[in-house]
């Protein structure tokens, strides 16, 4: 049985969504960072990083959501993964673009607009991040033109990894109205039963 440790409103969401898409048996354990549950001796003995999400599948123990998702998709994913190198490279590209390029920008907006205590917020960070977002989102908009999905027009783990980050933009007040293809793609993915079940489950 897969054991999945996560928390709401975090990178755990993309792994939770994937697990629901895969329809494999798993046990979900919610971990509360604010109460120090990621720093207990028991949790650290199992997961020395203390990071969430964390996944245990037999002898395999993994942290970092994208690494977990690559593992799950390759092992259990069927059409969510591919053995063809060109398509697999695109899965890597879009997943890493999402977490390495886009996510830091949207998180800058989130943290300096709402999460950090007021004295620690910096409006200049928000302004820089908002100025960067259009260029990044236009990359996605252009790539999705005339396509339903990111890789070979087939729903894959790349869509899950990327959408989980793009979804933060509207949450921090950045409208996707100027990116109609991206907006339709995101709405289509959020309409999937697996996404809705994972979102409802926290």
For the chain, residues classed under CATH 1.20.1050.10 are 82-195
The pair of three-digit structure tokens given for residue 166, joined into one six-digit string: 């793009």
pLDDT class of 7 with cuts at 50, 70, 90: very high
pLDDT, one tens digit per residue, over 23-41 is 999 999 999 988 999 999 9
Could you say which DSSP state residue 64 is in? S
pLDDT score, position 97: 98
The answer to whether residues 72 and 26 touch, using CB atoms and an 8 Å cutoff, is no
- The architecture in CATH of the region 2-79 reads 3-Layer(aba) Sandwich (3.40)
Radius of gyration of the chain (CA): 17
The CATH number fitting domain 82-195, selected from 3.40.50.720, 1.20.1050.10, 2.40.420.20, 3.40.50.880: 1.20.1050.10
For the chain, residues classed under CATH 3.40.30.10 are 2-79
pTM attached to this predicted model: 0.96
pLDDT, one tens digit per residue, over 97-155 is 999 999 999 999 999 999 999 999 999 999 999 999 999 999 999 999 999 999 999 99
């Amino acid at each position: 049985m897969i054991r999945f440790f996560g928390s709401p409103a975090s990178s755990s969401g993309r792994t939770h969504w994937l697990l629901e898409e895969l329809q494999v048996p798993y046990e979900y354990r919610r971990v509360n960072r604010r109460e120090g549950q990621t720093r207990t001796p028991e949790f650290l003995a199992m997961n020395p990083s203390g990071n969430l999400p964390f996944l245990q599948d037999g002898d395999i123990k993994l942290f970092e959501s994208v690494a977990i998702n690559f593992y799950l998709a390759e092992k259990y994913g069927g059409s969510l993964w591919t053995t063809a190198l060109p398509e697999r490279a695109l899965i890597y590209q879009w997943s890493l673009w999402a977490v390495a390029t886009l996510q830091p920008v949207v998180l800058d907006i989130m943290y300096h607009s709402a999460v950090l205590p007021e004295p620690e917020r910096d409006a200049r960070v928000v302004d820089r991040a908002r100025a960067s977002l259009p260029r990044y989102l236009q990359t996605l908009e252009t790539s999705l033109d005339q396509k339903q999905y990111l890789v070979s027009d087939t729903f894959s783990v790349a869509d899950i990894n990327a959408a989980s980050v793009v979804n933060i933009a509207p949450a921090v007040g950045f409208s996707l109205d100027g990116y109609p293809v991206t907006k339709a793609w995101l709405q289509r993915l959020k309409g999937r039963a697996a996404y809705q079940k994972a979102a409802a489950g926290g």
